[in-house]
Amino acid sequence: MLKPRLNNHRNLIDISGIWKFKIDKNNEGEKKGWNEGFSADSEIAVPGSWNEQLDNLDLLHYVGKAWYTKDIFVPKNFKDKKLWIRFDSVDYHSKVWINDRLVGTNDFGYLPFDFEITEFVQCGKENLIVLSVDNQLSDDTIPQGINTHYYVDEKRPRDETFPAARFDFPPNGGIHRPVYIYTTSLIFIEDIAVKTKLTGPSSSKVLLQLNINENISCELVVNISDNNSIFNEKFKYNGNSADIEFEVNNIDLWGLGNPNLYKLTVTLFNENEEVDSYSLQIGFREIEVKNKQILLNGKPVYMQGFGKHEDFPVFGKGFNYQSLVKDFSLMKWIKANSFRTSHYPYAEEVLEMADREGFLVIDEVPAVSLDFRKVNGGTLKSHKEFTKKLIARDKNHPSVIAWALGNEPNLVGNPDYFNGEAEKYWKEIFQNARELDSTRLLTVPNCQKAGINDPVFLFSDFISINRYYGWYEHPGQIEYGVEVLEKEMDEIWNKYHKPILMTEFGTDTIAGEHSISDQMFTEEYQSKFIEKYIELLRSKDYVIGEHVWNFADFRTPQHFRRVIMNRKGVFTRTREPKLAAFKLKELWSK
């Protein structure tokens, strides 16, 4: 489904705000009929994680079930339309009832889901919405979950975190992005996919793939404009999907520093009556890998930027416009030109801003630290489905240049990872993604424990590596770490002949700690580590970019390795700069 928008044919109400909330530690809500309504423990802000809002309920580390409810007034004039509810993301599993009737379930966090609710709501009245949410992950969810007893079975009790997680960020729960009620006409445009292919320095082929909700014969008007209309034509078609191809001329390409965008509007006519229209921003650009380089519109680009997280005090993983604006403003200040949505899809508003500001984005499927001892048919199925949903949501963003189909598989360093099964798995995951989108690049950031024989390298368009020599390995020895890294990078290049992006490198740094000697955790150590790594990366012509880990400090599950947060941020969690921020600004301004 397309992102809901307000126009002459579509209504839209944002029903975020204050909802009622109840914890369901014993998973008894459904048995007790909470879907019919319940007496709440508390109120809660939506969007937002439940973890940092409700200290009186002690939810900071809570994993399990919780319930949300709200009475929503649906106006009379929504009658005679199709009505929908949309959650931009709920983490993780959720189930939705309206007026005590089950509307649907969703098992994919970090991504939007819509349910048609025309038959469920009463217009001109209050309607009771109830939602149950469960943030317990399992072997076959993406990302995979873990239970504390696994650590014992796996004989790695010292890895145990609380809450248990296979990754280095907390498995927060809640309604993390806005919730909408919206309408469409009875006949409406379900989806628009825009594919462009440059045919010259200022011309492009355009392939529009449209889905209409019904099999009809009708007319479509396609308009593309900036200030002036550059294309306007009528097309006739039959059925419920249409492929329309045409060429546009005199266009300005989308690129770094000049993110030219155009407004595409599709208007749908049925029996000469206008029944729907939808507009979205598009850009014309081309991305490819050639020999040692990555080319944007035929010219080499070097990526400088960050791996990030959606994480902010109190909001947790909840979307908020303030940190969206703040993070882009800091990225512009520091002269970053790109980032990775580590380790999951970010809010669509982030990609829209990247489109407008001209940032390159590597958009990540949350298959983070897949443990192949626990990978099963269900994991593969969820992974493919997740990829499909992500591409369906983000396919029209010019800023998205690549899909990261996971991050650091085999972080546990299991030797069986190399027995051929994982290779088969990744082959299928990459093939699936290529069939869904042949216009973007594919990669999976690799960890040191999977090493240079990681099967993800075989299928990637460019190689992504996360390395911490001088931190986890060879602690305190930056120069030696850089030597080890250089050897390994040369080896990777010689083996695969694919350009390399450094997707993670960094050191935990406590803002305010200083030292004249190389001393881990100080601001000077982080700054020097980053400088030395960048010096090496820039000396290699097969390196296509550097993404520092991380943009900002972020909360983690509890473990003796972490003092509340992962402190590898160049900015603190509240976005104050550390010394390294100034170093990066200097290096990235060159």
* 132/369 with CB nearer ligand BDP: 369
Signed CA dihedral, 350, 352, 353, 355: sign only: positive
E-only strand ranges, 123-188 = 125-134, 174-175, 179-184
Q: Which is nearer to ligand BDP, 70 or 568 (CB)?
A: 568
Task: Report in angstroms how near the CB of residue 504 gets to ligand BDP at its nearest.
Answer: 6
Q: Which residue is nearest to ligand BDP (CB)?
A: 168
Q: Which residues contact 562 (CB under 8 A, 6 or more apart)?
A: 168, 556
Residue 259: asked if its preceding bond is cis (omega within 30°), the reply is no
CB of 530 to ligand BDP, least distance (A): 14
Out of 408, 523, 524, 546, the active site residue is 408
d(Cα 402, Cα 501) in Å, to the nearest integer?
Answer: 12
**Residue 214 falls in the annotated catalytic set:** no
> By C-beta, is 342 or 379 nearer to ligand BDP?
342
Comparison of 280 and 411: residue with beta carbon closer to ligand BDP: 411
> Are residues 49 and 116 in contact, defined by beta-carbon separation less than 8 angstroms?
no
Side chain identity at 155, as an amino acid letter? K
Tokens of 108: 């994919």
Nearest distance from residue 327's CB to ligand BDP, in Å?
Answer: 17
- Type of residue at 500: I
Give the integer Cα–Cα distance in Å for 398 and 544: 19
Choosing from 52, 310, 504, 524, the catalytic residue is 504
| Structure-block tokens of residue 351 | 């990609």
- 351 three-state secondary structure: helix
- Residue 512 buriedness (CB in 10 A; 0-12 / 13-18 / 19+): exposed
Question: Residue 288 catalytic?
Answer: no
CB of 567 vs ligand BDP, minimal distance in Å: 9
Cβ 464 to ligand BDP shortest distance, Å: 10
Q: Which residues lie near ligand BDP (CB under 6 A)?
A: 167-168, 343, 407-408, 447, 466, 504, 549, 566, 568
Q: Of 50 and 549, which has the nearer Cβ to ligand BDP?
A: 549
CB of 448 to ligand BDP, least distance (A): 9
The DSSP annotation for 522-575 comes to SHHHHHHHHHHHHHHHHT-TTEEEEEEE-SB-EE--B-TT-BSEE---SB-TT-
CA distances in angstroms from 195 to 245, 283, 318, 515, listed in the order given = 10, 10, 31, 53
Choice between 454 and 504, CB closer to ligand BDP: 504
Assigned token pair, 379: 């994991």
Pick from 159, 398, 405, 134: which is nearest to 283 by CA? 398
Residues annotated as part of the active site: 408, 504
